[in-house]
Amino acid sequence: MSANTGKDMSARRIGRRRRSRPMVDGVDVTRPPAGSRWWAVPWPVWLAAGLMVAGLLSLSGAYGFHGDEMYFVVAGRHPAFGYVDQPPLTPLLSAASVAVLGASPTAVRILPALEMASVVMIVGFIARDLGGSRRAQILAAVTAGVSGYLGAGHLDTTTEPDLLVWAVLMWLLVRLLAGGDRRLWVAVGLSAGIGLENKDTPLFLAAGLAVGVLLCRRWEVLRSPWAWAAAGIAAAMWAPNLAWQAVNGWPQLTMASRIAGYAATNRAQVLPFLWLFTGPLLFPVCVMGLVWVLGSRAATPWRPLGVAALVAMVLVLISGGKAYYAIGSAALFMAAGGIVLDKWIARGHRRLKIAGFGAAGLASGGLIALLTLPVLPVAAYARTTLPATVPDVANQIGWPQFVATVEQVVAALPPAQRAHAVILANSYSEAGPLILLGKSLPPVHSGHNSSWTWGPPPAERTVVVHVGDWRPADWAQYFTGCRDVARIDNRLGIDNGEQGKPVTVCTGIRAPWTTIWPALRTIS
């Protein structure tokens, strides 16, 4: 073989490699534009994220805490590698927020607002890395900004970090599947590990990605040592929580079985939830994005992610999990939908089409805000049907009255009884506000979820102020006498989770707390 022949063959191989690079509208999407940075997106993308943060924080203290938020704060004050109902990340962050900023709804809602605004930014990044134009990136970010991410950013729960982790993973995988630097797999492993310390749902994405890689014949992913390193990093980060679960009898599996007990209801909610989360009038944007990822020749490099999202949703349906467990993949489809929408606008009547998109976005965002955010004065909200429609908002109302009622019951006890009193709450949502907001109250305990693991009341606390419904129903086996002394009333007539619940005083304990406590455990 001559030297020239070898050079020609080498040139042909280089040419084939170049031609094999993923191209969208003639643009090599494996190579960012000259001088660009990973954060380089049009300023309206940043504006959409900033407006989301500003709007969420302006409403963050309008009503009050949600019961779950206060539970996470209390749980985080009992640091552990895991809890009965979730890994440790959200409780630890919630407790830290209150420790630094004080016990207020705004304190715990700053991080969720920033997390969801970050998702809006990442949707813009994904649209760019899929080959989308400047306008496509803006359209995608606006779609995310007026979607369920807006509603999610109001509450401090495990959902917000989960949605952010899914968005980050989707973005990194978009870059990797397009031939990006294989060392990005380290970031994938770190992100997945953080996600697994918050919720187990990244496992659905991992399983879906494995299926997608195999069906789409992306063997080079499996051959990359960096991909296997990512799996090892995620597993190592998840290990402490797994060890805690193993030592404590795998309570999260029990929790999952309780959730699966509502499998039929959970499955029935999937399509309505998908429609609402992606924007009632912008839902077609996500559908177009899904179709583009699965069927467009230009999207061939990223087809495994489309398959992964569908597989993840199927796994959620099979397991009977909650509708939102795999909704994190919406970030990819909003980004891809922005590209399809941009091409549709470019075909003509641009101003009319952009105006139509803007009107649909305003209507979708307005409806989501009305359903999920405290945009109405509380008295006006109480007169609507919204409390029955979206209980999460209604459950943010009435905690000051709730705590005041229990304080009054305790204050009315004879001094001898008050000195030996303990508050026993039926659920963690009733224990949390008493611990976080109550003043001069006896110790507060509950047998619900992780609250049970923090131990029984002290032996000398033999007078019980019980808050909430009875569980178990028959307390005659534990006390010689119980009497209802008050009812919870938010004074607005809002039928939320606590309205009308009894406050009961029980005396004459029949056995030590160490004997009674095992029977009071509830996981739900």
Q: What is the pLDDT of residue 35?
A: 41
pLDDT value at residue 266:
86
Reported confidence tier of residue 337, pLDDT bands at 50, 70, 90? very high
The pLDDT tens digits for 28-78 are: 554 544 445 777 889 999 999 999 999 999 999 999 999 999 999 999 999
pLDDT of residue 34: 40
Is residue 27's pLDDT more than 80? no
What pLDDT is recorded for position 28? 52
What confidence category does residue 263 fall into, taking pLDDT thresholds of 50, 70 and 90? confident
Residue 233 belongs to some domain of the structure = yes
Mean pLDDT throughout 254-270? Answer: 87
Residue 14 — pLDDT band, cuts 50, 70, 90? very low
**pLDDT tops 80 at residue 472:** no
Q: Do residues 322 and 277 both lie within one domain?
A: yes
Average pLDDT value for the chain: 91
Three-state SS across 287-330?
HHHHHHHHHCHHHHHHHHHHHHHHHHHHHHHHHCCCHHHHHHHH
Output the pTM of the full model. 0.91
The answer to the question of residue 379 being in a domain is no
> pLDDT grade, residue 392 (50/70/90)?
very high
Pick from 455, 469, 457, 461: nearest CA to 504: 469
pLDDT tens-digit profile of 282-301? 999 999 999 999 999 999 99
Whether 8 shows a pLDDT value over 60: the answer reads no
Q: Are 290 and 363 in the same domain? A: yes
Minimum mean pLDDT range among 136-140, 154-158, 494-498: 494-498
Final residue of a structural domain among 356, 372, 388: 372
Is the pLDDT assigned to residue 11 strictly greater than 50? Answer: no
Are residue 247 and residue 194 in the same domain, yes or no?
yes
Cα gap 24→38, rounded to integer Å: 18
Q: Are residues 447 and 359 in the same domain?
A: no
Residues 167 and 238 placed together within one structural domain of the fold: yes
DSSP string, 2-60: -HHHHHHHHHHHHHHHHHTS-EETTEETTSPPTT--TT---HHHHHHHHHHHHHHHHHT
Backbone angles phi, psi at 464, to 5 degrees: -110, 130
b/e per residue 57-80 (b: at least 16 CB within 10 A): bebbebbbbbbbbbbbbbbbbeeb
Q: Tell whether 465 and 353 lie within a shared domain.
A: no
Number of structural domains found in the chain: 2
Q: Report the distance separating Cα 152 and Cα 156, nearest Å.
A: 8
Question: CB under 8 Å to 238, separation ≥6 — which residues?
Answer: 193, 196, 197
Q: What pLDDT digit, counting tens, does each position of 364-384 carry? A: 999 999 999 999 999 999 999
Give the span between the Cα atoms of 311 and 212, in whole angstroms. 8
pLDDT tens sequence across 306-319: 999 999 999 999 98
User: CA 408 from chain center: how many Å?
Assistant: 36
Range with lowest mean pLDDT among 14-18, 324-328, 506-510: 14-18
Residue 485, pLDDT > 50, answer: yes
Query: Is 285 within the bounds of a domain?
Result: yes
User: Domain check: are 420 and 307 in the same one?
Assistant: no
Q: What is the largest CA-CA distance in the chain?
A: 105
Residue 328: which of 152, 103, 513 has the closest Cα? Answer: 152
pLDDT tens figures, 198-255: 999 999 999 999 999 999 999 998 889 999 999 999 999 999 999 999 999 999 999 8
Task: Quote the pLDDT of residue 475.
Answer: 77
Predicted pLDDT of residue 211: 96
Q: Give the pLDDT score at 12.
A: 45
Query: Which has more pLDDT, 18 or 57?
Result: 57
Domain match, 236 and 101 both:
yes
Q: Check whether residue 120 and residue 227 sit in a common domain.
A: yes
**Is the residue at 13 inside a domain?**
no
Residue 407 lies in a domain: yes
Q: Flag whether 11 is in a domain.
A: no
The alpha carbon of 121 is separated from its chain's Cα centroid by a whole number of angstroms, namely: 17
312 and 428 both lie in a single domain = no
pLDDT (average), residues 320-348: 94
Range from 256-265, 343-352, 395-404 carrying the lowest mean pLDDT: 256-265
What percent of the chain shows pLDDT beyond 70?
Answer: 92
Q: Is the pLDDT of residue 462 over 90?
A: yes
Q: What is the pLDDT of residue 323?
A: 85
Q: Which domain holds residue 306?
A: 42-372
The residue type found at 422 is: V
Do 53 and 139 lie in one domain? The reply is yes
Amino acid letter, residue 206:
A
For residue 36, the model assigns a pLDDT of 57
In a domain, 421, yes or no: yes
Residue 22 neighbours by CB distance under 10 Å: 18
Average pLDDT over residues 156-176: 97
- Residue 481 pLDDT exceeds 70: yes
pLDDT surpassing 80 at residue 10: no
Residue 13 binned pLDDT confidence (cut-offs 50, 70, 90): very low
Which has more pLDDT, 456 or 260?
A: 456
Separation between Cα atoms, residue 406 and residue 413, nearest integer Å? 11
Q: Same domain, yes or no, for 228 and 79?
A: yes
- Give the span between the Cα atoms of 357 and 162, in whole angstroms: 28
Q: What is the distance between the alpha carbons of residues 85 and 449, in angstroms, rounded to a whole number?
A: 7
Is 269 part of any domain? yes
Least confident of 14-23, 142-151, 221-230: 14-23
pLDDT at 15 over 50: no
pLDDT at 262: 86
